[in-house]
Amino acid sequence: MNVVILRGTLSSDPVERVLPSGTSLVQYEVTTRVAEGPAASVPVAWFDPPAAASSFAAGVEVVVTGQVRRRFFRAGGSTASRTEVVAHSVVPAGQKKKAGRAVAAALAGVA
């Protein structure tokens, strides 16, 4: 089972690009905080998102559902890796009904 649900704040504006395959990609950095613990920055990649995906700005609180993926790539003559969340949905946390539906859909796959 590989299910991720994050609630955090975008620490920077989204980065949008089109891959050589023609696939659209929006990348986020989501900062999560635990009441007493340190903050964690989580990279999120959303493939072929809706048009509104790149309109979120730094500082917006979001709910992300998806799965963890580790990918390997060549950089500077050596192999590197990156662990990230591949998003199924990214919803502003203030849209409670929409965020609730996204979380419910993610959890439905757990049962």
Burial class (CB in 10 A: 0-12, 13-18, 19+), 28: buried
pLDDT classification of 33: cutoffs 50, 70, 90: confident
Amino acid letter, residue 12: S
Give the pLDDT of residue 111.
Answer: 65
15 contacts: CB under 8 Å, gap ≥ 6:
26, 27
Domain ranges of the chain: 4-108
* Total-model pTM: 0.88
Enter the CATH code of domain 4-108: 2.40.50.140
Summarize the confidence of residues 37-53 as an average pLDDT.
Answer: 92
pLDDT digits (tens, 9 = 90+) for 59-95: 999 999 999 999 888 888 899 898 999 999 999 999 9
